[in-house]
């Protein structure tokens, strides 16, 4: 009887100190970084200036604010200054972000006129950039399609620029 009690006590105390082979525990460190939100300030106005409709064609204002015509019959000295739009974009230092500018139309006296846009941020024109932690100048140019016989008058619209972390 003493042997059985001793064996029983040895088994109970041995299993209490033995490691469970069916279970293991591991650990890992946890960290997080909060990044400043990306932001864009409303831009300065883009102005294609005065245009003669003539037979129609395209008018381009590049990101530097220079205007060219696909049809030189459309060229006239503008009563207003030709300008590209500029925006201030602020993104966290060394974080990539995308730039999206959808096409739009100018509306006014006659038919709508389509505009597609180009952009330049510090020489990058592919729609992506890397933040510096400070405001960066985003320049936006456009290509305006004018129809033959477009009615005279003032036309206007809005360009919407979206920036987002990648």
Break the chain into its structural domains and give their ranges. 37-165
If one counts every other C-beta atom within 10 angstroms of the C-beta of residue 56, the result is 16
How much is the pLDDT for 115? 98
Residues 83-102: b if buried by 16+ CB within 10 A, e if exposed:
bbbbbebbbbeebebebebe
**Segment among 16-20, 26-30, 108-112, 132-136 with least mean pLDDT:** 16-20
Distance, in Å, from the CA atom of 148 to the CA atom of 52, rounded to the nearest integer, reads 10
pLDDT digits (tens, 9 = 90+) for 87-143: 999 999 999 999 999 999 999 999 999 999 999 998 888 899 999 999 999 999 999
Supply angle C-alpha 47, 149, 48, rounded to 5.
Answer: 5
37-165 fold: Immunoglobulin-like (2.60.40)
Contact between residue 102 and residue 160 where contact means Cβ atoms under 8 Å apart: yes
Mean pLDDT, range 3-13, rounded to an integer: 50
SS3 103: coil
């Amino acid at each position: 009887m003493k042997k059985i009690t001793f064996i029983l006590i040895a088994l109970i105390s041995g299993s209490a100190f033995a490691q469970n082979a069916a279970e293991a525990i591991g650990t890992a460190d946890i960290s997080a970084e909060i990044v400043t939100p990306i932001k864009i300030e409303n831009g300065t106005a883009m102005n294609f200036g005065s245009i003669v409709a003539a037979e129609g064609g395209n008018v381009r204002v590049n990101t530097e604010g220079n205007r060219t015509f696909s049809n030189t019959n459309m060229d006239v000295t503008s009563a207003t200054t030709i300008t590209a739009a500029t925006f201030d974009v602020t993104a966290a230092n060394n974080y990539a972000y995308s730039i999206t500018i959808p096409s739009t139309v100018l509306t006014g006296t006659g038919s709508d006129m389509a505009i597609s846009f180009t952009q330049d941020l510090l020489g990058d024109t592919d729609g992506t950039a890397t933040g510096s932690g400070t405001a960066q100048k985003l320049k936006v140019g456009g290509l305006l399609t004018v129809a033959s016989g477009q009615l005279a008058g003032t036309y206007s619209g809005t360009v919407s620029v979206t920036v987002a972390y990648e």
